[in-house]
Structure 1
Amino acid sequence: MSGANDRLLPAATVLLLRDGAAGLEVFMVQRHHQIDFAAGALVFPGGKVDKRDSDPGVAAHLSPTPDLTPELIPFAVATIREAFEECGVLLAGPKGSDSLVDAARLAQIEARWRGPMAKGEIGIQEMLAAEDLTLALDRLTRYSHWVTPSFMPKRFDTHFFLATAPADQLALHDGGETVDSIWINPGQAIADGISGKRSVIFPTRMNLSILARDNTVADAVARARANPPVMVQPWLEDRADGQWLVITPDAGYDRTEAPISELM
């Protein structure tokens, strides 16, 4: 936190949702304890946008995306790629079909492509071309947009998307960057963070707080569609009781401030 950092790394995050027996559930992963940011924290799957997510060949393998500007399409592509790499969920289907790949086809695709993609050996375009797939960008709903504070040494410009988890695809952590995973009610995840049972950093807790307002996937998606994201970039305020993170109230979260410790 020694000085301002103006370099932003584009990143994308997916909130996979399902209707559980006790209401809405979201898939979350626990980050490895040796990762430099949010080590050990419970987070949503995601990561940096790869320059190959914008390869010209990718454009031929995208579903129509009337709700996404051209600038947002690489973030959406990265969202689907990261979901595949991190938790084995693939929001893609055979070209010309409105359906997603089934479990049997996914197993074949995963065995061939997931490892090399996760290692950065190839981009998503190679998989799409070889398997003749279409990325289901139309199944993503924009949810939120967060920018890391300027005082942080590594900064991300992150777009969050909602997606309904395919019923016949099993979401699991990758065992590398993430060491555990869970389907959890958003309110329970917040409570676990407050109690100290789990580590839940401020941006994650704020995004959970919006999800906690709804009981079903359909309601959460409808809320997100009716409330376009407002960019949130926390700033730092020095107060008598220490340093606090502050965010704009326009974003609609339940809280607009938190101790600096909640960012870590």
Structure 2
Amino acid sequence: MNSQTTTPAPAKPAATILLLRDGSAGLEVFMVVRHHEIDFAAGALVFPGGKLAPGDSEPLAHARATGLDGLSAEAAALRIAVIREAFEECGLLFARERGGGTLIGPDRLQTLDRYRGPLDHGELTVGEMLHEENLELACESLVDYAHWVTPLMMPKRFDTHFFLASPPARQLARHDGRELVDSVWIRPADALAQADAGARTIIAPTRLNLQRLGLSGTVEAALAAARAQPVVRVLPELVKTPSGPRLRIPDGAGYPVTEFEPGTPPAEKP
């Protein structure tokens, strides 16, 4: 038997952030479009995020982060990673002057923009940036939301933790223009409708998280719902049914469906 067909590819640790705000018509989430040359979810409307970088696990970064008490080293690194990714991809930084109270504002943030490229290219670690600028990350700004693992049969796999957060006051999210070619603040229902109309590409995990997010009408309600819902690890399992193959996810994970057809988004909407 060919071992390549029986041994799953390793799932790389990753983190994703759902940035939320209250719009005039209800809850909105910040989403980005990945460059068509990116090797995962190319051209799709997704939430910002990416893989864990070596520097996210270093003591230098952990020593300059608050809100990590009681967390495992891996859980702490994931929070540092998602804040770093939000900075690299969206120009937002959940950070304060070390020992300070409020998160940095737009003027201070502008002085840090020069770090985004070196961080993205691995030329600098987030801990080194924090040390040089005397900053600390505000990891308590994040709320655990979901945990998805790419199905075993896929050649490229990720073990992704999702977090909710409201952007720091007066900081404006924007896409980086490199890996990300577009960005939008959008109501979950509108993103789903655009995907149904063929105007957007949205992969199934993103769609399910939009459906779940759309059950809340405000940022406060979404954060409260996330705090009340235990995070259940979702590893979609390919199963045979009378209607054909389906991907099955755990009941109790907070989603409106537990089965859907591979390669197509679930039809149910919030």
Q: Report SS of the residue matched to 2:89.
A: helix
User: Which stretch shifts more, 186-195 or 209-218?
Assistant: 186-195
Partner residue in 2 for 1:32: 35
- C-alpha change, 1:2 and 1:31, in structure 2 (3 Å) is farther
Partner residue in 1 for 2:154: 152
Partner residue in 2 for 1:72: 75
Amino acid at match of 1:188: D
Query: Structure 2: how far apart are the matches of 1:201 and 1:183?
Result: 18
Query: Structure 2: how far apart are the matches of 1:118 and 1:228?
Result: 32
Query: Structure 2: how far apart are the matches of 1:4 and 1:59?
Result: 34
Partner residue in 1 for 2:249: 247
Query: Structure 2: how far apart are the matches of 1:182 and 1:261?
Result: 25
Query: Structure 2: how far apart are the matches of 1:156 and 1:262?
Result: 19
Partner residue in 2 for 1:43: 46
Contact 2:64 2:137 in 1 (8 A): yes
Q: Report SS of the residue matched to 2:169.
A: coil
Matched, 1:14 2:17: yes
Between the two proteins, the alignment pairs up a number of residues equal to 262
Shift of 1:241: 5.0
Contact 1:30 1:180 in 2 (8 A): yes
Question: Structure 1 length normalisation: TM-score?
Answer: 0.94
* Alignment match of 1:213 (pick from 215, 223, 236): 215
> 1:125-183, CA deviations, whole angstroms, 9 ceiling, x for partnerless residues?
11000011110101000000000100011111100001101231111111121110000
- C-alpha change, 1:27 and 1:20, in structure 2 (3 Å) is same
Residues 225-244 of structure 1: matches in 2 within 5 Å?
225-239=227-241, 241-244=243-246
Amino acid at match of 1:100: L
Contact 1:83 1:89 in 2 (8 A): yes
Contact 2:105 2:171 in 1 (8 A): yes
Partner residue in 2 for 1:98: 101
Partner residue in 2 for 1:129: 131
> 1:186-205, CA deviations, whole angstroms, 9 ceiling, x for partnerless residues?
11112222222211111001
- Structure 1, gaps ≥5 residues long: none
Shift of 1:61: 0.5
* Alignment match of 1:85 (pick from 67, 71, 88): 88
Query: Structure 1: how far apart are the matches of 2:198 and 2:177?
Result: 23
Q: Report SS of the residue matched to 2:263.
A: helix
Question: Structure 2 length normalisation: TM-score?
Answer: 0.92
Contact 1:4 1:152 in 2 (8 A): no
Shift of 1:235: 1.1
- C-alpha change, 1:38 and 1:75, in structure 2 (3 Å) is same
Partner residue in 1 for 2:268: none
Query: Structure 2: how far apart are the matches of 1:143 and 1:215?
Result: 16
Query: Structure 2: how far apart are the matches of 1:210 and 1:85?
Result: 27
> 1:93-112, CA deviations, whole angstroms, 9 ceiling, x for partnerless residues?
1011121111001000112x
Query: Structure 1: how far apart are the matches of 2:82 and 2:241?
Result: 37
Partner residue in 2 for 1:166: 168
- C-alpha change, 1:178 and 1:262, in structure 2 (3 Å) is farther
User: Which stretch shifts more, 164-173 or 15-24?
Assistant: 164-173
Query: Structure 2: how far apart are the matches of 1:211 and 1:26?
Result: 9
- C-alpha change, 1:246 and 1:215, in structure 2 (3 Å) is same
Matched, 1:57 2:27: no
User: Which stretch shifts more, 122-131 or 185-194?
Assistant: 185-194
Q: Report SS of the residue matched to 1:213.
A: coil
Amino acid at match of 2:138: A
| Superposed CA RMSD | 1.7
Shift of 1:13: 0.4
- Structure 2, gaps ≥5 residues long: 266-270
Partner residue in 1 for 2:263: 261
